[in-house]
C-alpha cells in the first residue's frame, strides 16, 4: 500500500537553529498538509499546499514557518529559528484531488525536540 514517508523520524536541535522536515507524499496525490501534535495534545493543522502554493494556513504558521515542494517529489517544512515551544510531533499528509471523502494519508511523523 502506498505510504507517505517522513524523514527524519526524530530530530534534536538547539533553540534558534533552522530545521527542515522532509516528506515524500504519495505519488499521485495533489494536496499536501502539515500538522503538528504537541506531546499529549490535539493534532493541529499548520498548512495546506496545492498547485505549488499555500492554499490555507493556521495562525500557528507564522513567518518562522515555510513550505516548499522543490522537486515534484519532496514536500518540506522549514522552521527558520526554532523555539522551545516548537517541540512537537510533525505529521505530513496527502490526498488525491477530490479525495476529501476518503481521508488523508499520514506519514509516521517527525519528532522535533528543541533544546
Residues that bind other proteins (CB under 8 A): 31, 33, 35, 41-45, 48, 50, 55-56, 91, 93, 100-109
SS3 for 85? helix
**Of 33 and 75, which CB lies nearer to other proteins in the complex structure?**
33
Give the nearer residue to other proteins in terms of CB position, either 62 or 102. Answer: 102
DSSP labels for 3-57?
Answer: --EEE-SEEEE-TT--EEEEEE--TT--EEEEEEE-TTS-EEEEEEEETTEEEEE
Of 8 and 16, CB closest to other proteins = 8
Query: Shortest Cβ distance from residue 86 to other proteins (Å)?
Result: 19
Burial 9-37 (b: 16+ CB within 10 A, else e): eebebeeeeebebebbbbeebebbbbbbe
Q: How far apart are CA 103 and CA 57, in angstroms?
A: 19
Q: How far is the CB of 66 from other proteins (least distance, A)?
A: 18
- Nearer CB in complex with other proteins: 43/115: 43
Q: How far is the CB of 99 from other proteins (least distance, A)?
A: 10
The least CB distance from residue 32 to other proteins, in Å, is 10
Amino acid at each position: 500500500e502506498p505510504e507517505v514517508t517522513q524523514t527524519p523520524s526524530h530530530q534534536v536541535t538547539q533553540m534558534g537553529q533552522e530545521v527542515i522536515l522532509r516528506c515524500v507524499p504519495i505519488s499521485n496525490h495533489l494536496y499536501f498538509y502539515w500538522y503538528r501534535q504537541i506531546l499529549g495534545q490535539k493534532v493541529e493543522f499548520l498548512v495546506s499546499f496545492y498547485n505549488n502554493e499555500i492554499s490555507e494556513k493556521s495562525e500557528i504558521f507564522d513567518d518562522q514557518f515555510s513550505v516548499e515542494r522543490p522537486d515534484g517529489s519532496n514536500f518540506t517544512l522549514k522552521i527558520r529559528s526554532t523555539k522551545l515551544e516548537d517541540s512537537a510531533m510533525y505529521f505530513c499528509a496527502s490526498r488525491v484531488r477530490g479525495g476529501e471523502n476518503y481521508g488523508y494519508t499520514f506519514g509516521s511523523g517527525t519528532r522535533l525536540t528543541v533544546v
